[in-house]
Structure 1
Amino acid sequence: MPIINTPLFSMRTAQNPLLLALALVACQGQRTLEAIPGVELQGTAYEAAALVSLEAQSAWDHEDLQNVFFLSSRIISGGEPESEEAFERLAEWGIKTILSVDGKAPLAEAAARFGMRYVHVPIQYKGMTEGELLRMTKTFRELPGPFYVHCFHGKHRGPAAAAVGRLVLDHVSREQALAEMRQWMGTSPAYEGLYATIASRSLPSMDASAAYQWDFTPAVGTSGMKEAMVMATRALENLKSLKGNAWVVDPTHPDLVPEQEALRLAEIFRRSLGGYDLRARPASFRANFEGIIPAAEELAAQVSQARQADKQVIEQAAALMTRIEGSCNSCHKQWRD
């Protein structure tokens, strides 16, 4: 049975009767995960997200948390909590576990101060891998709820991960989960892979997730060189795309924000410096990493101004980006190629 006798449920259902209806529906006709069939697609998975028509539901927005949707008594989806006030609010709602699917390392220590546990399963916009689905389903099945699920803005990757929770814990249909992504949380049609995962991917059975060995990592580290370089490459590719668009957010990829990508690049290199792989490298190798951090932070500041359509600032940001790319290429020629 769904857990509905919680402070979170009592508070929110008092304000939103739709939550009561959702919880009562979840109590009925529960199915094992293996029994949930995939959606028979006649077109795209995004189009299938219109098969179930939902009543309009607005996001709960606050300066500390954005795009929050109370999907059930056990699953809440929203944007990244970045302040003490945000974590305090989540704790007041009764949240026990926070699942982040963003690439940025979450503030696990801040959450812990309020009695909440962070689990970090970063995913891409193109969909979820088998390993990512295993880690998510294991999290939902074995850790205490309610769960707060987030990416950066809470519009695309986070809602898809929350949909996995809806299937695993609340046993809603795939059509219902897809409809919530599209009609409530506004997940972009550009991310068909996320919709397709929820529409038709086979999800791990309870036995499979139980047998999977994993320690519920609170923050995916970037100490390993291979992992760090993969993440840095993704951030650089995103920045190259944004540079080509004069640092304006592309409406077909609304979660790629120039400042955020530049700061993410700086964070990847900063965390890597503390890893064994880099401590064992020559000082000249480490210097390449150390030089990227301030350059990426400066780029974040510049692209923030560039979005005001100042041609000079746009060009300065582009030049700085070229410098960062040159630094990476130089390092690759010396140490990798």
Structure 2
Amino acid sequence: MTARFLPAAGLTAIAFLACGAPDGERRADSAVFTAAQPVSGIHSAYGSTAAIRLPARAPLEAPGLVNVFRLSPNVFSGSEPAGERAFEQLAHWGVRTIVSVDGKVPDAAAAATHGMATVHLPIRYSGLTSEQLRRLAKVFREARAPFYVHCFHGRHRGPAAAGVGRLILDGASREQVVAEMGQWCGTSPKYAGLFALLSSAPIPPASETEALAFAFPSACRPEGLRGAMTEIARVFDGLELLGLRGFESDPEHPDLDALNEARRLVELFEVCAESAQAEPRGLGRGVEDSLRASRDLERFLSELRGGREEALRGAEEALDSVADDCASCHRAHRNRR
């Protein structure tokens, strides 16, 4: 059955497994609030960011972390933690649970070293499905606060998910959390579904999330070969778009980062390689070729990010190789079914 989106219509969701991890510890402070009523009298979801004017606030500065805001004693929002010092800083701030809504599998082992749990719940820029919202609400009600909620940049999906925590844990008004998202965190108005989530989506009641079976996974991957292939198509489209710009950021798509997308592509082909072991041998070889090309792409983009301009040609050729390998594999296998 197709998932119902809250609030973006017409876009297809990728279903992720609620893959296995131990149940999270419950918060010592179990007080939660009934979410505020939807914002009214606003012609667009993004327009609700101006319903109240917040005082200017600069993000917190820390090694390996960008665009970090402490929205309340319970909730931080920011970027993906990069490196040991980033996790040290989060622990120093008292964070107990890291919630990643990015597609890439988070470094749960590094978090655990510093006494923090990790929950992985990937979401789209178009909004959350009703099931994703129930799971996120359950995490905020039952895992341990304070929470550090992140996507990749810490500007779009992460602040939206953190806003759900503000509604549930802090009893914040919808006007307040939408203003924080737009005025402080810098969420782009292009992602209307994320603003609509906070301004109007019904928050599941505690009775509903308490009955929900969700094990707080520290890593979620697409389900099997078919799920990974579907997600690969989306990631490749973004890389192809950035490739037209020399893999530089695109103002029309501020969510896309070439190196992060390339790393995600490698992860997905690794899932395919594992699943293809049970498939015809020729399919496995095709997947291995694509995996090698995607690793080359990641390597060249990393070198390009480090200032080696000559790596651009290698990145372009690696992306072309991924496309050629996928096309060959499809001709030999998928298109014959």
User: Which residue of structure 2 lines up, in the alignment, with residue 32 of structure 1?
Assistant: 34
SS across alignment from 2:149: strand
Structure 1 residue 306: deviation in Å? 6.0
- Per-residue CA deviation, residues 44-69 of structure 1 (Å, 9 max, x unaligned), is 21111111100001001222211110
SS across alignment from 1:273: helix
2:190 equivalent to 1:190: yes
Indicate which of 278, 293, 299 corresponds to 2:291: 293
**TM-score, normalising length: structure 2:** 0.84
1:278·1:286 contact (CA, 8 Å) conserved in 2? yes
Q: Which runs of 5+ in 1 are unaligned?
A: 1-29
2: CA distance between counterparts of 1:171 and 1:193?
22
- The amino acid of 2:93's aligned partner reads W
2:33·2:168 contact (CA, 8 Å) conserved in 1? no
2:331 equivalent to 1:333: yes
Q: Which moved more, 1:37-46 or 1:161-170?
A: 37-46
User: Which residue of structure 2 lines up, in the alignment, with residue 4 of structure 1?
Assistant: none
SS across alignment from 1:77: strand
Q: Which moved more, 1:183-192 or 1:262-271?
A: 262-271
Structure 1 residue 234: deviation in Å? 1.6
User: Which residue of structure 2 lines up, in the alignment, with residue 15 of structure 1?
Assistant: none
2: CA distance between counterparts of 1:92 and 1:330?
50
1:119·1:216 contact (CA, 8 Å) conserved in 2? yes
Percent identity of paired positions between Structure 1 and Structure 2: 42
Which structure is higher in helix share?
1
2: CA distance between counterparts of 1:41 and 1:101?
30
2:33·2:170 contact (CA, 8 Å) conserved in 1? no
Q: Which moved more, 1:91-100 or 1:175-184?
A: 91-100
2: CA distance between counterparts of 1:304 and 1:111?
24
- Per-residue CA deviation, residues 246-301 of structure 1 (Å, 9 max, x unaligned), is 32211132221111111210121124433xx3231233222222222231232234
- The amino acid of 1:325's aligned partner reads A
SS across alignment from 2:98: strand
- The amino acid of 1:322's aligned partner reads D
- In structure 2, the CA distance between the partners of 1:141 and 1:288, relative to structure 1 (3 Å rule), is same
Equivalence map 1:116-265=2 (5 Å): 116-222=116-222, 224-265=224-265
SS across alignment from 2:128: coil
- In structure 2, the CA distance between the partners of 1:107 and 1:207, relative to structure 1 (3 Å rule), is same
2:119·2:218 contact (CA, 8 Å) conserved in 1? yes
User: Which residue of structure 1 lines up, in the alignment, with residue 268 of structure 2?
Assistant: 268
1:68·1:154 contact (CA, 8 Å) conserved in 2? yes
Give the number of aligned pairs: 303
**TM-score, normalising length: structure 1:** 0.84
Work out which structure has the larger RCO, using CA pairs closer than 8 Å and 6 or more positions apart in sequence: 2
User: Which residue of structure 1 lines up, in the alignment, with residue 20 of structure 2?
Assistant: none
